Amino acid sequence: MDLNKLAEALIPDENVKPLDYYEAAYPERDLPKGAQVTRLAPSPTGFMHIGNLYVALANERIAHQSGGVFYLRIEDTDDKRKVEGAVEVIHTSLKYFGVAFDEGADLCGNYGPYYQRQRAEIYHAYAKELIKKGLAYPCFCTEEELEKTREYQTENKLLPGYYGEFAKCRNLTEEEIYANLAAKKPYVIRLKSQGDVEVKHTFHDEVKGDITVTENNQDVVILKSDGIPTYHFAHAIDDHFMRTTLVIRGEEWLSSLPIHIELFKVLGFRLPKYGHNCSIQKIDGDTRRKLSKRKDPEASLTFYREQGYHPTAVRTYMMTLLNSNFEEWLLKCPDKPLEEFKYSIGKMGKSGALFDIVKLNDISKSFMATMSETEAYDFLKTWADEFGTEEQKAYFADKEYLLKVLTLCMGIGGKKRRKDFVCAKQALEMIAYFFNATFAPEYEYRFENSVVKTVLEGFKAAYDHADDCSAWFDKVKSVAAANGFATDMKAYKADPTAYPGNVSDVAEMLRIATTGLANTPDLWTIMQILGKNETMARLEKAIAAL
């Protein structure tokens, strides 16, 4: 059979150039020894999973630590999954977490185009080459025929796929092929696999260590009927011509590794190093399962932005998932930038990385407790501008006021910083009572209304906004005493039944009346921040509600 003629008949693409053109157009990169070229290669589905950040961080760290290049390639061969604006989502969501690409889609770079749909010519050139060498062939099987084969294989407990006796089009004659073409039957191009499933090799996976891989024997599709390549074929060509040295990708690709090894081999390309990282899992009842896009809001990167997690906190948490020795380093060097941690691919988890939102929240709280009030103001404002309610946006109108609130609520200047703020959304909800528009108290006292009423009235009558903290507290005590509450804690502890309660119960009533909450930072300071009129108004409102 004239294979050159067949290649022309099957892939009539005028743009295709001789292969050495591509080798010259995308030369080896001029990088220092040991520099790694890595990439993120997502499909533009518009959804960014936390696993994308995990993989992106690993690839970014490896590239940048080694003086290499980290680029973005858009794998848009599956048109059905494509969503408008998805590439922008990829850039913005990753940039938020400090992951920036050196080159790639929507950026500059000499190894593009970085959208696979714009690279048809290169894929066609190499598919043609394989046909010419007798290593690929057209397949005219219909969906129904393939389905029948699948059913037969399932019934007979045979390995699924297009191989051996099931590869019906593998040995079509020249006449049959041209007759099918003349009849305008649609066709795909398949690899003519040279592998044997009986043969196994040891393969060094950068994350998992030495693993055994079975040779591929599947005649996988390399070009679909519309001439668009499959992921397998496209990634091999792209990683070669973009001069990728290391592919860190999700372990769901591990089962395709034999196909990829064969494809690199038949294409005559050097195989990059591969590392398959484990999926991110969570504990769900008694089981451990993958974080699911459908069930778990925290699976989406958008979640962290919408909640207003500080990017450094998320990044720090991701590093704890990525490298087992990171936390130890963090304890030793809490003030160093994360970039100084020597990330190592060998220390990535080999099984599942367990996602624990409680731990993320702890890291976030500790991180937010390192911020100054102005840093917190700026961070919260940026969040509120994008995600906040109209009332929350208005919190930022009086900067001086809000800075006082933040100073108090973050414990700045106190003995110990408070660690109450987890993320922007929760922080702004926490300080809502400082603002009239969002002050919506549900007064829940632990004492009879009549008792609360005399306490509030007594305090209101005695209140002097000019009192310092200790004069203020003396007044709380005298209101307590006037209502029979203990002011001497020793006496109270000796015989608690002798009193309705003690001074802290009285302070709690005042706190609930002023803020609607039983737990807040220092009440005297809160009243100072609210100002005389507002404090009075709140006491009156609380009395009226009794």
Bridge partners (DSSP) of residue 249 are 276
User: Residue 123 or residue 137: which is nearer to ligand GLU going by CB?
Assistant: 123
User: Residue 41 or residue 380: which is nearer to ligand GLU going by CB?
Assistant: 41
Span near ligand GLU by CB under 6 A; candidates 35-43, 284-292, 347-355, 428-436: 35-43
336 carries an active-site annotation: no
- Tokens at 390, concatenated: 């109209």
Q: Does 49 bind ligand GLU (CB under 6 A)?
A: no
Phi, psi of 39 (to 5 degrees): -150, 165
Q: Which amino acid does the sequence have at 182? A: A
Kindly state the number of chain residues that form the binding site for ligand GLU, as judged by CB under 6 A: 10
Q: Residue 227 Cβ, how far from ligand GLU at the closest point, in Å?
A: 19
Q: Helices 523-530 and 503-515: crossing angle, nearest 10°?
A: 30
Bridge partners (DSSP) of residue 203 are 211
Q: Is the peptide bond before 113 cis (omega within 30 degrees of 0)?
A: yes
Residues 249-278 close enough to bind ligand GLU by CB under 6 A: 249-250, 253
Q: Residue 247 Cβ, how far from ligand GLU at the closest point, in Å?
A: 6
Q: Which of 235, 310, 315, 460 binds ligand GLU (CB under 6 A)?
A: 235
Can you give the three-state secondary structure of 219-264, one letter per residue?
CCEEECCCCCECHHHHHHHHHHHCCCCEEEEEHHHHHHHHHHHHHH
Q: Does 41 bind ligand GLU (CB under 6 A)?
A: yes
Q: Residue 79 Cβ, how far from ligand GLU at the closest point, in Å?
A: 14
Q: Residue 259 Cβ, how far from ligand GLU at the closest point, in Å?
A: 12
- Tokens at 512, concatenated: 């609930």
User: Residue 271 or residue 482: which is nearer to ligand GLU going by CB?
Assistant: 271
User: Residue 41 or residue 120: which is nearer to ligand GLU going by CB?
Assistant: 41
Q: Residue 58 Cβ, how far from ligand GLU at the closest point, in Å?
A: 11
User: Residue 275 or residue 308: which is nearer to ligand GLU going by CB?
Assistant: 275
Q: Does 104 bind ligand GLU (CB under 6 A)?
A: no
Q: Quick check: helix, strand or coil at residue 287?
A: strand
- Tokens at 175, concatenated: 């006449």
Can you give the three-state secondary structure of 119-158, one letter per residue?
HHHHHHHHHHHHHHCCCEEEECCCHHHHHHHHHHHHHCCC
Q: Quick check: helix, strand or coil at residue 204?
A: strand
Token pair 């039957």: residue: 185
x/- mask, ligand GLU, residues 502-541, rule CB under 6 A, reads ----------------------------------------
Q: How far is CA 346 from the centre of its chain?
A: 22
Residues 70-99 close enough to bind ligand GLU by CB under 6 A: 75
Span near ligand GLU by CB under 6 A; candidates 41-49, 206-214, 420-428, 510-518: 41-49
Span near ligand GLU by CB under 6 A; candidates 40-48, 128-136, 145-153, 453-461: 40-48
User: Residue 42 or residue 104: which is nearer to ligand GLU going by CB?
Assistant: 42
Q: Choose the catalytic residue: 132, 168, 293, 359.
A: 293
Q: Residue 183 Cβ, how far from ligand GLU at the closest point, in Å?
A: 35
Asked if 308 and 383 count as a contact pair (C-beta separation under 8 A), the reply is yes
Q: Which of 9, 13, 43, 213 binds ligand GLU (CB under 6 A)?
A: 43
Span near ligand GLU by CB under 6 A; candidates 96-104, 162-170, 246-254, 521-529: 246-254
Q: How far is CA 300 from the centre of its chain?
A: 6
Asked if 220 and 162 count as a contact pair (C-beta separation under 8 A), the reply is yes
User: Residue 235 or residue 538: which is nearer to ligand GLU going by CB?
Assistant: 235
Residues 6+ apart with CB under 8 A from 448: none
- Tokens at 340, concatenated: 């100084």
Residues 6+ apart with CB under 8 A from 99: 53, 56, 57, 60
Q: Residue 383 Cβ, how far from ligand GLU at the closest point, in Å?
A: 29
Phi, psi of 72 (to 5 degrees): -110, 125
Q: Which of 10, 37, 38, 42 binds ligand GLU (CB under 6 A)?
A: 42
Nearest alpha carbon to residue 161 among 227, 216, 225, 236 = 216
User: Residue 42 or residue 388: which is nearer to ligand GLU going by CB?
Assistant: 42
User: Residue 75 or residue 508: which is nearer to ligand GLU going by CB?
Assistant: 75
User: Residue 69 or residue 409: which is nearer to ligand GLU going by CB?
Assistant: 69
Report the chain's terminal Cα–Cα distance, integer Å.
Answer: 97
Nearest alpha carbon to residue 131 among 3, 236, 223 = 3
CA atoms within 13 A on the CB side of 178: 10
Span near ligand GLU by CB under 6 A; candidates 39-47, 153-161, 286-294, 528-536: 39-47
342 to each of 40, 321, 322, 325, 339, how far by Cα in Å?
Answer: 20, 14, 12, 10, 8
Span near ligand GLU by CB under 6 A; candidates 199-207, 243-251, 278-286, 309-317: 243-251
Asked if 424 and 368 count as a contact pair (C-beta separation under 8 A), the reply is no
Span near ligand GLU by CB under 6 A; candidates 242-250, 319-327, 410-418, 512-520: 242-250
Q: Residue 77 Cβ, how far from ligand GLU at the closest point, in Å?
A: 9
Q: Which residues are catalytic?
A: 293
List residues binding ligand GLU (CB under 6 A). Answer: 41-43, 75, 231, 235, 247, 249-250, 253
